[in-house]
Structure 1
Amino acid sequence: MNSGHDDGTPLVELRNACFSYPGVEGDPPHEVLRGFDMVLDRGESVALLGPNGSGKTTIMRILNGLEFLSAGEYRFDGNRITRDALADKRFAKRLHQRIGFVFQNSETQLFCPSVAEEIAFGPAQMGLPDEEIHRRTNDILRLFELERFAERAPYRLSGGEKKRVAIACCMSLNPDLLVLDEPTDGLDERNTALVVRVLNQFVAAGKSILVSTHHHDIVEALHSRRIPVHPIE
């Protein structure tokens, strides 16, 4: 996989992307995307906007290598992402280090005994030195104002706190792209402001975010370029 240097190549390219989910019990396949195009550059904030069922979450799953196009092309940093490409474990590991994915239901991402261990898990899997893991963990705890929860079990947190931890875990990997499905769902006004502030700092540092949200005030606060996603009729 390319090193991530900015040579003018878009960070993400979807060209003529098509995707269908298999039919259930003899039903025909359920077509979700047909001829969808999207380009996302480094240092860019982009929002996918569309009604439920239009394919926004599917697009995010494709970018993270959880689903694969039935036609068209997906490139990340110039590399074509396919089922065969991700069968190479080293290639797949590198891709998943460079793309962080925060699910709408953040509880599915949390499984460690404490918040600090959750945040440290990704850097540890990357094989970073203990000193760097410790530094990243403490920096992220401070950034998300989670210090007082460091030793608390994630299951004992509120829904909004779990969301902050899930975003913090992805950011501890220092990815090039952060993909967030409804990132402010379940957050009160104060926590929403904190998450927006951190995401804007992330983009200002030259990183990219892709969000799916129904909250247009969040799109405004993140200064996101809008990409409409239309249901297939």
Structure 2
Amino acid sequence: MGSSDNRALSSIASKVVMALAGAFLLVFLVVHLAINLLLLADDGGAAFSAAAEFMGVNPVIRVMELVLFAGFALHIAFGFVVSIRNRKSRPIRYVHKSRSETYPFSKYMMHTGMIVLLFLALHLIDFYFIKIGIIAPPPGIERHDFYHRAVLLFSDPLYSGIYFVSFLVLGFHLNHALQAAAQTLGLNHPRYTPLIKAASALYAIIIAGGFMAIPLRFTLFN
């Protein structure tokens, strides 16, 4: 087997690992959204606080946090690897675009991924690092009081705007990521590809729209 074959196999393996890690993160986003939508309940944060407390003391959840961070690390690392390899394998820009480049936002996956990564860092600073004691909570708010922390943050229109735009970018990233993952895993078929595209768009709209509703609610109706 020649070096070109080895590089091809390595590239495919990298894409498969990135796709599988991304699939795990897709499940996490559904669970994370379901819990965070409890912030919208008109109960003073009781339901959300109860769910957050359960997540904080459950040993299974604590283990899953480590798995989650591993999934993020794998997806990000192999995302960089795949992006760099793609750029090196196409040093010359041709006038004729390949089919994969004709999908909206497909060529911006690295850019949207970087924005999502920066937002993830901000989100960890806002909530998770306070939870584990790395950062002190704001005055008047207890370390595990995520409800009032969210109320405080999203009462600022500028801060809500950052979250809102970040979730919008996440939606575009998810839409193409699902389609790319299906292609990498060999699931594309003339009969099923339209369904995959529709499911990808629906998933992205639900996830992004659900998360966008949270800062919007506290900014407009707090």
TM-score, scaled relative to structure 2: 0.31
**Structure with more of its chain in helix, by fraction:** 2
TM-score, scaled relative to structure 1: 0.30
**Structure with more of its chain in strand, by fraction:** 1
Q: State the structure with more CA Rg.
A: 2
